[in-house]
Amino acid sequence: MITASSEDLYRVEKKDLFASGHRACGGCGQALAARLVADAAGENTIACVATGCLEIFSSPYPDPNWRIPFLHSLFENVSAVASGVEAAYKALKKGPVNIIAQGGDGSTADIGFQSISGMFERGHNVLYICYDNEAYMNTGVQRSSFTPLGAKTTTTPMGNTTRKKNLPLIAADHGIPYVATATVDDFRDLQRKVKTALLINGPKYLHILAPCPLGWGHTGDLTVQICRLAKATGLFPVFEIINGKVTNVVKIQEKKPVEEYLKLQGRFKHLFKKGAPLKEVAAIQEIANQNIERFNL
């Protein structure tokens, strides 16, 4: 099915298609992820971006940072817009072209969920990329359905009480050919997944963990380290689902307790205050353990 050589897939790309001068915070995981994605996808790509941080910081008139065609849509309809672009290319008998729809976790899991589901179900040849920073960072750190258990946001000041929605598995259950998760620390793996996805015909879903220094309460230099810990604790499993089968699971080399991951971030600080009930940390550890068992990390 995939015809490119593994050498091509694993080559690290840097083409400056997402240029300097964007207004993201220092150490922004999403800006890093967007740059890696744009460079991996190459020049022959149309980027559709939903409202959110990425759109705000990368596309102010008159100096957008994208060096590829860029289409801004509303919070809820980036998948519908990307579907339209794909249909237009088909109707005009043009192409082939890589169409990438991108959104934050809010526009993916909450507001835009119906349009994603529709796009998957109709089978458009679009790669949907979700930059998961686990809250509505653009509007001021409100809780989304990707906010993990225990995390503090402005709408959950005592810590979130619900679990994170598992969208990769929901997407896979639509029967689409390719679903993957990635983090920004392993850029080689991330770029390989983008390139692999673009070789497959049909709807694809890529879920990227992109730390937000402002919303997560850590300094900008820790972005990569936090991603690494998210993998090492088992809280963020990295895998691919090809035609419904989980493969290429990134195994944990050296397992770490979730405390190491939580303590780096201001949004979990209340869990470690004097007198705080330890059961919340235990519940988060339980989630990590379940992930490890489920995906055989």
Query: Could you list the residues that contact other proteins (CB under 8 A)?
Result: 12, 14, 16, 18-29, 31-32, 35-36, 61-63, 187, 213, 219-225, 228
**In this complex, which beta carbon is closest to other proteins, that of residue 177 or of residue 215?**
215
**In this complex, which beta carbon is closest to other proteins, that of residue 167 or of residue 190?**
190
Q: How far apart are CA 52 and CA 56, in angstroms?
A: 6
Cis peptide before 62 (omega within 30 of 0): yes
**In this complex, which beta carbon is closest to other proteins, that of residue 75 or of residue 261?**
261
Query: SS3 for 122?
Result: helix
Q: How far apart are CA 180 and CA 131, in angstroms?
A: 12
Give min distance, CB of 28 to other proteins, in A.
5
**In this complex, which beta carbon is closest to other proteins, that of residue 238 or of residue 241?**
238
Give min distance, CB of 2 to other proteins, in A.
24
**In this complex, which beta carbon is closest to other proteins, that of residue 222 or of residue 292?**
222
Give min distance, CB of 223 to other proteins, in A.
6
**In this complex, which beta carbon is closest to other proteins, that of residue 104 or of residue 177?**
104
The two tokens of residue 201 are 């015909």
Q: How far apart are CA 161 and CA 186, in angstroms?
A: 30
DSSP state of 142: B
Beta strand 178-183 pairing with 70-72: unpaired
* Burial status of residue 43 (CB atoms within 10 A of its CB: 0-12, 13-18, 19 or more): exposed
Stated as kind and residue range, the H or E segment containing 119 is helix 113-122
* Burial status of residue 200 (CB atoms within 10 A of its CB: 0-12, 13-18, 19 or more): middle
Residue among 35, 207, 52, 238 nearest 127 (CA): 207
* Burial status of residue 157 (CB atoms within 10 A of its CB: 0-12, 13-18, 19 or more): exposed
Give min distance, CB of 186 to other proteins, in A.
10
**In this complex, which beta carbon is closest to other proteins, that of residue 145 or of residue 225?**
225
Give min distance, CB of 271 to other proteins, in A.
24
Give min distance, CB of 156 to other proteins, in A.
27
Whole-number Cα distances in Å, 232 to 150, 258, 280, 288: 19, 9, 19, 10
Give min distance, CB of 20 to other proteins, in A.
4
**In this complex, which beta carbon is closest to other proteins, that of residue 60 or of residue 95?**
60
Residue among 216, 196, 220 nearest 206 (CA): 196
The two tokens of residue 162 are 């619900």
Give min distance, CB of 169 to other proteins, in A.
29
Nearest-Å Rg of the Cα atoms of the chain is 18
